[in-house]
Amino acid sequence: DVKVTQSSRYLVKRTGEKVFLECVQDMDHENMFWYRQDPGLGLRLIYFSYDVKMKEKGDIPEGYSVSREKKERFSLILESASTNQTSMYLCASSLAITYEQYFGPGTRLTVT
Amino acid sequence: RKEVEQDPGPFNVPEGATVAFNCTYSNSASQSFFWYRQDCRKEPKLLMSVYSSGNEDGRFTAQLNRASQYISLLIRDSKLSDSATYLCVVNDESNYQLIWGAGTKLIIKP
């Protein structure tokens, strides 16, 4: 069965802290994605990766960075958390040249 | 900017009824279309792909109208468990990314 896991379901951080969100998939998928989801808005792509050590900016990369050192793991880093980064963060993966994405359960991050 | 637009709802529908909702997309070059379902506080999951000829999966029927650039989802004999938010998704043909609508909330009432 397809499985994408995320390191935390709920996270509370203070403004200015460095935050790490981890995502692991066990499906040997080439593509991995980080989205944020806010009420009334569609999923917005932050970063994606097509291969190990490879990353591409999505629609809203400002304030974020990513790391993909292994095929199964894709990390999202908030260098200095701000209150406007309070959101639901969703990780997804997919096979190369396909569009069907499988999601992790999400991390609800609150920055105070 | 490439966009996908949906009526946010909520659609309040009695159990057993038929309900339909549409979404419109702006990118005429898009080739792949999907409906995802998202339960409250859960992750999105693929419900069905939408083919040019339309497709049916049990009580669910999806249609594509390329000329008018909209996709529809029809749910027949609705069940309480169909209550969810339905996300319309379209590919960005320049890469393997997806463009997501904000979702239509459906509430099935007993």
SS3 per residue for B25-61: ECCCCCCCEEEEEECCCCCCEEEEEECCCCEEECCEE
C-alpha triplet A11, A14, A20: angle, nearest 5°:
50
Distance CA B4, CA B33 (A): 11
Task: Report residues of chain A scoring pLDDT below 50.
Answer: none
Distance CA A5, CA A81 (A): 22
CB contact under 8 A, B44 and A43: yes
Pairing verdict, β A31-37 and A44-49:
antiparallel
Contacts (Cβ under 8 Å, ≥6 apart) of A73: A22, A23, A24
pLDDT over 70 at B1, yes or no: no
Chain A CB contacts of B96 under 8 Å are: 31, 50, 94, 96-99
Judged by a CB distance cut-off of 8 A, whether residue A93 touches chain B is no
Picking from B2-6, B62-66, B95-99, which range would have the lowest pLDDT averaged per residue? B95-99
Note the pLDDT of residue B53: 84
Distance CA B55, CA B61 (A): 6
CB contact under 8 A, B102 and A42: yes
Pairing verdict, β A87-94 and A31-37:
antiparallel
Picking from A46-55, B20-29, B87-96, which range would have the lowest pLDDT averaged per residue? B87-96
pLDDT over 70 at B70, yes or no: yes
Note the pLDDT of residue A40: 85
Between A1 and B41, residue with greater pLDDT: B41
Residue of B32, B43, B96 with shortest CB distance to A90? B43
Chain B CB contacts of A99 under 8 Å are: 32, 34, 91, 96, 98
The overall average pLDDT reported for chain B is 92
Closest CA–CA distance from residue A40 to any residue of chain B (Å): 6
pLDDT over 80 at B78, yes or no: yes
CB contact under 8 A, A42 and B32: no
- Give the start-end residues of each E strand in chain A: 4-6, 10-13, 19-25, 31-37, 44-49, 56-57, 64-70, 73-78, 87-94, 102-103, 107-111
**Nearest residue in chain B measured CA to CA from A50:** B96
Distance CA A27, CA A29 (A): 5
The two tokens of residue B93 are 């043909």
Note the pLDDT of residue A2: 67
Distance CA B79, CA A59 (A): 36
User: Which residues sit opposite A110 in a β-bridge?
Assistant: A12
pLDDT over 90 at B96, yes or no: no
Picking from A73-87, B48-62, B71-85, which range would have the lowest pLDDT averaged per residue? B48-62
Note the pLDDT of residue A97: 76
CB contact under 8 A, A98 and B96: yes
Judged by a CB distance cut-off of 8 A, whether residue B87 touches chain A is yes
Closest CA–CA distance from residue A16 to any residue of chain B (Å): 27
